């Protein structure tokens, strides 16, 4: 007897430690992240079930100049990460694949040829452009060569993390290697999901919109408006204190315990566009400001240069 694919999907999630109740909890968080009303939770859950049942889109995942924090962010949130891995078919990913050396190179080549024009390319990390890309190599090929070879063969490209989007830490001054984001380095317009790291819910929301063939509205920096349309400050739980002038001036102070505003500690929430206060991290547990740390503007282009020093008074 043929197995019920929906049942099979839930069994697979269960095996990853994600109960049906957990799944619905993440669908609720995702619905809010995607800017939809609460009444759409059922529809979002159904979209994910359908995505997992249908042939999943092949994904080639590249790593260039970065810290892999963006992959870690979803691999270490097993619930959201587990759901993501059920909606896509990862054909190549250096951090999680078993292959190494020549075998790994072959699997990249084979995946790109087999799924030419059909795969989604997820890129983590910036591309070195000076000196023919000499400042960044994998398997004796520069990041620039690999990007020029693989990215044009993809059906769509998603830049994951501020490094892939705009250069990030590798492009911080004086940037000797001429690191750039993928869009700038290749002269293309990818979907940019910045953050250092990117919130895994924003990746999942983007994948679902892509699979549902929905138009993804982007802002001037290539970021989906559903996730990056409002500033951190707009939705900050400490906003009332900002308006009333209750500021924290040092870490560990009495004011910090009271949850006062972190603006005077250098918080960049007013200039930073991201949905951290509503989506949150670690399976929707917390985000920097909730944990008492000022926002450092990690989803903005050039934040390592333009938002520093992170701790000086504003």
CB of 276 vs ligand F3S, minimal distance in Å: 3
Nearer to ligand SF4, 140 or 312 (CB): 312
Q: How do 89-93 and 58-63 pair as beta strands? A: parallel
CA angle 22, 43, 17 (to 5 degrees): 20
Query: Are 186 and 146 in contact, with CB atoms under 8 Å apart?
Result: no
Contact mark string toward ligand SF4, 249..288, x via CB under 6 A: ------------xxx---x-xx------------------
Residue 70 within binding range of ligand FSX, rule CB under 6 A:
yes
Count Cα neighbours of 226 within 13 Å in the Cβ-side half-sphere: 22
CB of 202 vs ligand FSX, minimal distance in Å: 13
Residue 163 within binding range of ligand FSX, rule CB under 6 A:
yes
| Token pair belonging to 231 | 């500033």
Nearer to ligand F3S, 58 or 205 (CB): 205
Q: Judged by CB under 6 A, which stretch of 43-51, 60-68, 132-140, 205-213 contacts ligand FSX? A: 60-68
Q: Which does 274 bind (CB under 5 to 8 A by kind): ligand FSX, ligand SF4, ligand F3S, none?
A: ligand F3S
Residue 232 within binding range of ligand F3S, rule CB under 6 A:
yes
Torsions phi, psi of 60, nearest 5? -105, 125
User: 46: Cβ–Cβ under 8 A, 6 or more apart, which residues?
Assistant: none
Nearer to ligand F3S, 40 or 160 (CB): 160
Torsions phi, psi of 36, nearest 5? -100, 160
Q: Which does 263 bind (CB under 5 to 8 A by kind): ligand FSX, ligand F3S, ligand SF4, none?
A: ligand SF4
Residue 298 within binding range of ligand F3S, rule CB under 6 A:
yes
Count Cα neighbours of 207 within 13 Å in the Cβ-side half-sphere: 30
| Token pair belonging to 28 | 């609720």
83, 169, 248, 267: which one contacts ligand FSX (CB under 6 A)? 169
Contact mark string toward ligand SF4, 285..304, x via CB under 6 A: ----x-----x---------
**113-124 burial, b for 16+ CB within 10 Å, e for fewer?**
eebeeebbbbbb
| Token pair belonging to 52 | 């997992």
Residue 307 within binding range of ligand FSX, rule CB under 6 A:
no
Residue appearing with tokens 């924290």: 248
CB of 194 vs ligand F3S, minimal distance in Å: 9
Query: Are 179 and 148 in contact, with CB atoms under 8 Å apart?
Result: no
Binding site for ligand SF4 (CB under 6 A): 232-233, 236, 238-239, 242, 261-263, 267, 269-270, 289, 295
Binding site for ligand F3S (CB under 6 A): 195, 232, 272, 274, 276, 287-289, 295-296, 298-299
């Amino acid at each position: 007897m043929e197995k019920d694919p929906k049942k099979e999907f839930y069994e697979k999630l269960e095996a990853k430690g994600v109960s049906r109740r957990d799944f619905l909890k993440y669908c609720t968080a995702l619905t809010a992240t995607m800017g939809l009303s609460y009444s759409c939770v059922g529809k979002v859950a159904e979209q994910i079930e359908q995505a997992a049942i249908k042939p999943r889109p092949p994904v080639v995942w590249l790593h260039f100049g970065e810290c892999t924090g963006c992959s870690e962010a979803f691999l270490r949130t097993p619930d959201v990460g587990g759901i993501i891995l059920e909606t896509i078919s990862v054909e190549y990913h250096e951090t999680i694949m078993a292959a190494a050396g020549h075998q790994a190179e072959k699997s990249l080549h084979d995946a790109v040829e087999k799924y030419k024009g059909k795969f989604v390319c997820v890129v983590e990390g910036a591309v070195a452009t000076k000196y023919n890309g000499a400042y960044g190599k994998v398997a004796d090929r520069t990041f620039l060569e690999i990007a020029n070879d693989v990215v044009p063969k993809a059906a769509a490209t998603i830049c994951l993390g501020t490094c892939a989007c705009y250069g990030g830490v590798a492009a911080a001054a004086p940037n000797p290697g001429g690191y750039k984001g993928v869009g700038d380095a290749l002269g293309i317009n990818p979907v940019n999901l910045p953050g250092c790291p990117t919130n895994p819910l924003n990746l999942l929301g983007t994948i679902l919109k892509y699979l549902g063939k929905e138009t993804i509205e982007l802002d001037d920096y290539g970021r989906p408006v559903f996730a990056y349309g409002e500033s951190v400050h707009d939705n900050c739980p400490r906003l009332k204190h900002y308006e009333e002038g209750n500021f924290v001036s040092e870490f560990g102070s009495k004011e910090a315990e009271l949850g006062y505003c972190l603006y005077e500690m250098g918080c960049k929430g007013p200039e930073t566009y991201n949905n951290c206060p509503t989506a949150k991290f670690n399976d929707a547990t917390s985000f920097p400001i909730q944990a008492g740390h000022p926002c450092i503007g990690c989803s903005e282009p050039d934040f390592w240069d333009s938002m520093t020093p992170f701790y000086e008074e504003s």
